[in-house]
Every structure is written in C-alpha cells, then in structure tokens.
C-alpha cells in the first residue's frame, strides 16, 4: 500500500456507518489502516459493521448515537476520544430522503430531511473540528448528492439540503483551513441502498429509466465510494479544500439534451 494513501495510526468516525454507503466506507477506511468508530442510530447494525472490521484485523467499535440531536455531537466526540484515543477523520454519511412532490411535503418532512442531511452534519463537524484543532488538524468528508447540482422533481427538499451541504463544505473549509482541517464532499449519483430500495421497487421500470441517464450505464454501488473517501481521508488530499468530488458515472458532466437522447 502506498504510504500516501495509508491511514495507519488514524482514527475515523463514520456517522451513518450502518447504512449501505456508510458501512462500505467504514470497512474501506479500516482496510487502509484506520481504527473506525461506526456511528449510527441503529446500534445493532453498527455493531455488525464493527464486527466485520474486527474480523478483518482492524480496530472497530460501534456507537449508537442520534446526531440529529445537537447535544449529542459533543458527547459522541468524548466517547470516541475515550475509546479510541483521538479523531483524525470524520465522515458524514447520514442521509434521509422523502420522495414526494413539493406540494405534498409536510412541515415534519421538511424538518426531518433538513436536519438529517444538513443540520446534523454541521453540528457533528463543529464538534469534530474542536477536537481536531487541538490535535493538529484532520479531515472532514461530507456526503452530498448529484441532486445538489440539478433540480430534482419529487426530491426538492433533499436536493436543497444537499446543495446546502455543498456550500457548507466550502464555508467550513475556508474557516478551518488555518487549523489544518481539510473539509471536502463526495457527491454520488443514485446509489442502490436501503434509503431508496422501496422507491425503486415500487416501479419495476424506474431503475432502468434512471440507469439509461447515467453515462456509465448503471446506478451507483456503495463500493464505488470507498476509493474517493480514502483519498480525501489520506495525506494525498492535504492540498484539497472545499471541493465536491462527483462520483456519479459521468452524470454531472452530460448536457441535459444529450442525456435525453440516450
């Protein structure tokens, strides 16, 4: 393994680490040498991921935590420090979508999506930055979405939240650059996970209809995100700040007219 991408000696926390993307990212970080705290509101599933990490010979712990609660972020950092002794990498992979037209959204829907995809990332990033600032720096990686770049019918509040997360990433990167904290984001295309499984299954033709709009010819897979996150978590990205890396099979670079012709 190239030392440039080695995470040996690092401690990573993956919020949303029991999810489809988060779990693969957590294992991928461990495979590159990091000790990993798998953080999720579903503590039993987080423990399954942590057990997979330990079975691979790395240090993995599970922490049941609801970071939608602003007061939980600082408590989470203290638990990580007590159990793993530090924090060098934070991955915000928490996400929740509501597939409804805008006119059908309730106030509860709006609040839930904004908190899950935007506010929680701010709270936990600030808590992590306070730790990293005192220890010489770190890496924060937010999970946005290709919907942050385009309008997305039926996902309006999700798209708005992810667009906000992209700009939050830029702002935090500028605020914390002097602390040697690099903040960046990863933007996947529609990826086959539990968050959209029911929505995809509700219409047998929906998956193929989406796949033909993606130049790579398929939906994303959780393992597609491992390499980009390892890059952003490693020394290889020390001079990368405030960027959003689109891991979207080419979707974000295709002109809409060309996409419609496919």
Please give the pLDDT value at position 70. Answer: 85
Q: Please confirm, yes or no, whether 158 is among the known catalytic residues.
A: yes
Instruction: Tell me the average confidence (pLDDT) per consecutive run of 10 residues in the chain, 262 residues long.
Output: 87 95 97 98 96 97 92 95 97 91 95 95 97 97 91 90 97 98 93 74 79 82 94 98 92 67 50
Angle in degrees, 0-180, between the axes of helices 120-134 and 156-176, rounded to the nearest 10 = 20
Q: Quick one: pLDDT at residue 203? A: 79
Specify the long-range contacts of residues 128-135, CB closer than 8 Å, at least 24 apart.
128/13, 128/77, 128/87, 128/90, 129/172, 129/176, 129/179, 129/181, 130/74, 130/77, 131/77, 131/81, 131/86, 131/87, 132/87, 132/88, 132/179, 132/181, 133/176, 133/179, 133/181, 135/86, 135/87, 135/88
Out of 11, 38, 158, 237, which one is annotated catalytic? 158
Q: Residue 153 gets which letter from DSSP?
A: T
Question: Is the CB of residue 95 less than 8 Å from the CB of residue 195?
Answer: yes
Annotated domain spans of the chain? 3-193+221-251
Tokens of 183: 């903040």
What is the spatial distance between Cα 65 and Cα 234, in angstroms, rounded to a whole number?
26
Domain topology for 3-193+221-251: Rossmann fold (3.40.50)
């Amino acid at each position: 393994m190239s030392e440039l991408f080695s995470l040996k000696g690092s401690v990573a926390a993956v919020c949303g680490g029991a999810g489809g993307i988060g779990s693969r990212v957590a294992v991928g970080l461990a495979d590159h040498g990091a000790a990993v705290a798998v953080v999720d509101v579903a503590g039993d599933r987080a423990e399954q991921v942590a057990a997979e990490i330990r079975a691979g010979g790395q240090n993995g712990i599970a922490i049941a935590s609801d970071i939608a609660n602003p007061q939980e972020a600082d408590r989470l950092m203290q638990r990580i420090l007590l159990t793993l002794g530090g924090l060098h990498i934070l991955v915000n992979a928490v996400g929740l979508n509501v597939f409804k037209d805008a006119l059908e959204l309730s106030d509860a829907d709006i609040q839930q999506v904004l908190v899950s995809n935007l506010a929680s990332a701010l709270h936990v990033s600030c808590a992590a930055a306070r730790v990293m600032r005192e220890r010489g720096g770190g890496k924060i990686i937010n999970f946005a979405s290709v919907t942050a770049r385009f309008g997305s019918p039926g996902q309006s509040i999700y798209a708005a939240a992810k667009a906000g997360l992209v700009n939050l990433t830029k702002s935090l990167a500028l605020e914390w650059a002097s602390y040697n904290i690099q903040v960046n984001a990863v933007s996947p295309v529609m990826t086959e996970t539990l968050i959209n499984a029911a929505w995809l299954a509700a219409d047998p033709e929906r998956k193929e209809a989406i796949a033909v709009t993606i130049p790579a010819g398929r939906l994303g897979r959780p393992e597609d995100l491992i390499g980009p996150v390892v890059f952003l978590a490693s020394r290889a990205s020390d001079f990368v700040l405030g960027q959003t890396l689109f891991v979207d099979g080419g979707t974000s670079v295709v002109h809409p007219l060309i996409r419609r012709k496919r």
